[in-house]
Structure 1
Amino acid sequence: MHISEQERDALYKVIHSRRDVRKDFLSTPIPDDVLARILGAAHHAPSVGFMQPWDFVLVTENETKQLIKQGYDQARLESAAQFDESKRAQYESFKLEGILESPVGICVTCDRKRNGPIVIGRTIKPEMDLYSTVCAIQNMWLAARAENIGLGWVSIIHDDVLRKALHIPEDVEVVAYLCLGYVSQFKDKPELEQAGWLPRENLSDLIHDGKWGK
């Protein structure tokens, strides 16, 4: 299948305009067919040994979101205490989730036993199934941006909070909790870059020619 220049440019536009959205969510519902396309993009991610280890738990009930938000609030306090004083106030000023505001939450999991104990590509690096699941999340992120829908990854939360709230089995790994919804705006730059938390690294400094350090 040939990719035209216009299609190529559209892909790069989506990649460069993707954002981790924490606020500016609208209450506008996501149509079922749009959500299906986004999940379909996730399901077409590459996976080690074609094991497709992912599952997607859709969260729309406010009661469940409240439980998850409580878990986030506790984890945020724990996290703030780990920063030194020069960074703590700025960290605490950031809004780092949209659990209650976003119409849909998605918990992405990894079933590490799917398709048997021996999987092509996991014989030496067993963690490849987790990496595959992250590829599915990235596909979802880009598909959402192509649909003009915001997505934010809430990593400041303990797995057991999500496991309990969503009845996730103990032998299934929790990988991510995502907030999904239409937004009032997409920022020109990532929020933390815009706020001066960290700059974007120079790509030329990260490329090594032949051997590390060259």
Structure 2
Amino acid sequence: MIPTSFPPAFVDDLDRLLTWRRDVRHFQTMPLPDGTLDHLLDLACLAPSVGNSQPWRFVQVRSEERRRASIAHVDAENRRAAAIYQDEAQAAYDALKLHGLREAPEHVAVFCQLDPEAGHGLGRQTMPETTVYSVVMAIHTLWLTARAIGVRMGWVSIVDPASMNALLDVPEDWRFVALICLGYPEQESDTPELVRRHWQDRLPADQTRFIR
């Protein structure tokens, strides 16, 4: 029977899940149990997509050579990105830990097939970028389902997309969206790391809402 609504306890748990989702950079090296990542990726594929095109493509990076190469690439891009900051901002940036790729047991690169046959083009004639938006929905679904079972995720964005395509040898019509790391957290915190390190506080909700 399809529920018309969920019980209050479920709604409260969902609120807590959204509140406690974190972008994690400090991981234990302990591997995930067999089948855990497959289960999470199966659930990620339940995300909505434009025209039901399901354009997400998940690449599990298991090769030690490719893992080392991706870490070296992210480190190089991080050094390049740091150059835009100066003085106190530079020191604050240097103090941030911006990825957990060395410790996290699972690396997954997420791509978007830009013009998939599935969906037959529905809903993307005027906004073709909706395929990429659909992939982001799948990533967020993965993020929440992982958090629900005690697995944490970090989204690594300081990368050159073309380099990731070449590094992982994927088809030319796949657009890189995210490099994510998954594993168990080194420690828990009730405050997001960027807030804790005084980089950026969470904005009040009323600063993001407008009426026209």
**TM-score class normalised by the smaller sequence:** over 0.9
Deviation of 1:96 after TM superposition, in Å, equals 0.5
SS in structure 1 of the partner of residue 99 of structure 2: coil
2:50/2:119 contact within 8 Å kept: no
Runs of 4+, deviation exceeding 3 Å = none
After TM superposition, the structure 1 = structure 2 runs for residues 1-214 of structure 1, keeping only pairs within 5 Å, are: 1=3, 2-23=5-26, 25-115=27-117, 119-209=121-211, 211=212
Deviates more, 1:114-123 or 1:125-134: 114-123
Structure 1: how far apart are the matches of 2:167 and 2:99? Answer: 17
**Letter aligned with residue 85 of structure 1:** D
How many residues are matched? 209
Q: Tell me if structure 2 keeps the 8 A contact 1:26–1:183.
A: yes
- 1:75 aligned partner, one-letter code: E
Distance 1:172 1:66 in 2: 22
Amino acid across the alignment from 1:149: V
Note the residue ranges of structure 1 that are not aligned, 5 or more in a row: none
The change in CA–CA distance for 1:27 and 1:49 in structure 2 (over 3 A counts) is same
Kindly indicate whether the alpha-carbon contact (under 8 Å) linking 2:43 and 2:142 is maintained by their aligned counterparts in 1.
yes
How far the C-alpha of 1:34 sits from its partner, in A, is: 2.1
Q: Which amino acid aligns with 2:25?
A: R
What amino acid does structure 2 have at the position aligned with 1:96?
L
TM-score (norm 2): 0.93
Secondary structure of 2:176's aligned partner = strand
The answer to whether the Cα contact below 8 Å between 1:98 and 1:152 also exists between their aligned partners in 2 is: yes
- SS of the residue 1:115 aligns to: coil
CA distance in 2, matches of 1:124, 1:69: 37
Measure the CA separation in 1 of the matches of 2:91 and 2:83. 10
Asked whether the 8 Å contact 1:150–1:181 carries over to 2, the reply is yes
SS in 2 for 1:32: coil
The answer to whether the 8 A contact 1:19-1:186 is kept is no
Give the alignment's TM-score, normalised by structure 1: 0.92
> What residue ranges of structure 2 are gaps of 5+ in the alignment?
none
Could you tell me whether the CA contact under 8 Å between 2:53 and 2:119 is conserved in 1? no
Equivalent pair of 1:57/1:107 in contact (CA under 8 Å): yes
* Preserved contact between residue 124 and residue 130 of structure 2 (Cα < 8 Å): yes
Q: Give the Å deviation of 1:33.
A: 2.9
Code of the residue aligned with 1:36 in structure 2: it is: D
2:35 is paired with a residue whose SS is helix
Q: Deviations over 1:129-174 (max 9, x none)?
A: 0000000000000011001111000101111332222111222101
Displacement of 1:63? 2.1
